Amino acid sequence: MRFADSIFAGRFGIATQDLDRYLAAALAYGGDYADLYFEYLLTSSIGIDESIVKSASQGVSMGVGVRVIAGERTGYAYSDDLSPKKILKAANVAAHIASGPGKIGKFDLHEGVRHNLYPVLTAPTETALADRVELVKRADHAARAYDPRVFQVQAAYADNLRHVLVVTSEGVLTVDRQPLARLSVHALARRNGETPQQGHSGGGGRVDLDFFLKDKPPEHFAREAAREAIAMLDAAEAPAGEMTVVLGPGWPGILLHEAVGHGLEADFNRKGVSAFSGRIGQKVAGELCTVVDDGTIHSRRGSLNVDDEGHPTGRNVLIENGILRGYLQDKLSSTLMGSASTGSGRRESYAHIPMPRMTNTFMLAGQSDPEEIVRSVPKGLYCANFGGGQVDITNGNFVFSASESYLIEDGKITRPVRDASLIGNGPEALKYVSMVGHDLRLDEGIGICGKAGQSVPVGLGIPTVKIDRMTVGGTA
């Protein structure tokens, strides 16, 4: 899509001369760099509970964020009103971060390079609501039909369509149209009068509605949520202490997101507050480990044609055969560190200052047969699914919570165990990776990453891996 065809040029009548004027106002007191982030966001959500579609809503929000960088300083202001008067006011507020003579008001704006990773003609948000409501009804039905012990089902469908326009004082002018959709299912199962157990599943991406009609129908997620809830009915207490842990493929890639991903975001490293600061070129993982962050995978939840600073996203190698290779860079940190942006500048919305973030983070496949990995463990824990995780980037400690895991006894997966957190230390944990499966799988597309109060959609992935030593936080 080109600027002239965008909603900003069309519906809001913004012309390139206007953009020049706003940038000039932003740099009226000097400053090294300025950018404008225009956003027009349509969202819808539909929820079913007790087989009743109880809640649904749709809405629109819009605004523009103006950022000015002067050395290490950032000035930021935003407006939810796209009138020239309000935009100029925001530019003027942000401009005051600098205190010098103004810059020339001509920026030679040209449309930048970008990928075309989600060529969705009709975004889910633009389809009939009646078609989308069927998704949650089908999910509800399928989860209940899975097993009579399933007694509560909630399904939620949400989509959005984000139109963005990024303009920088370095001349970049980029528009993008970013569709996103997800369906999630939560099921509760109970045997007789016992304590209920829960199961979760969900997925989506930057896809059209056909994804949920053909590729991954609601029944797929519903059965998975119901299966997990039923499987947990037999769960015993989880073990406690250090042991061998095998992670199954897919969502357990959250290990990488917490253990290394956040610690490699350049802002923390520029400030020297990350456990990975100054460790480029050092061994931080087993030789079998190669970890990449790739924002360019077709239709994935974490993918973007351009990042939120107008820079094309990329495939960035973070760890190569165990050696730390690089950080995730945005505009500010890359400038201050004398390197290039890796297309990792992201923000939650026009009201937020961009910062280095992950996109889709995963470990490349290895050689081992997943079954052979499990067979090699006399006693340990097999983790099939996780909830969320968190990291303290300074000391490197991270946790992530297993929601479906099993004991491994004499090389066989045996009993399911109750929820337990796993804890480790980022620069150390991956050194104990001793086997990597050939079964790399990316997650289904429901990840949300939070940092400094900002949430962005992300992807994860990992093949089956064996970690010789990790602390499991059970009670037994």
Q: Which of 348, 302, 341, 311 has the alpha carbon at shortest distance from 35?
A: 311
* C-beta of residue 293 within 8 angstroms of C-beta of residue 344: yes
Closest distance to other proteins from the beta carbon of 399 (Å): 3
> Helices 16-26 & 84-95, crossing angle to 10 degrees?
30
Cβ closest to other proteins, residue 277 vs residue 376: 277
SS3 17: helix
Using CA atoms, how far residue 47 sits from 157, 192, 217, in Å, is 6, 28, 16
Closest distance to other proteins from the beta carbon of 452 (Å): 10
Closest distance to other proteins from the beta carbon of 204 (Å): 19
DSSP 8-class letter at 137: H
Cβ closest to other proteins, residue 15 vs residue 448: 448
Closest distance to other proteins from the beta carbon of 273 (Å): 5
Closest distance to other proteins from the beta carbon of 242 (Å): 6
Closest distance to other proteins from the beta carbon of 365 (Å): 28
Cβ closest to other proteins, residue 321 vs residue 395: 395
Which residues lie below 8 Å from residue 227, measured CB to CB, with a gap of 6+? Answer: 146, 199
Q: Which of 451, 169, 160 has the alpha carbon at shortest distance from 310?
A: 169
The number of residues in the chain equals 476
Cβ closest to other proteins, residue 242 vs residue 409: 242
Cβ closest to other proteins, residue 10 vs residue 119: 10
Which residues lie below 8 Å from residue 202, measured CB to CB, with a gap of 6+? Answer: 182, 183, 184, 185, 221, 225, 444, 445, 446
Closest distance to other proteins from the beta carbon of 371 (Å): 28
Cβ closest to other proteins, residue 188 vs residue 319: 188
CB burial class (10 A; 0-12, 13-18, 19+) of residue 171? middle
Cβ closest to other proteins, residue 148 vs residue 272: 272
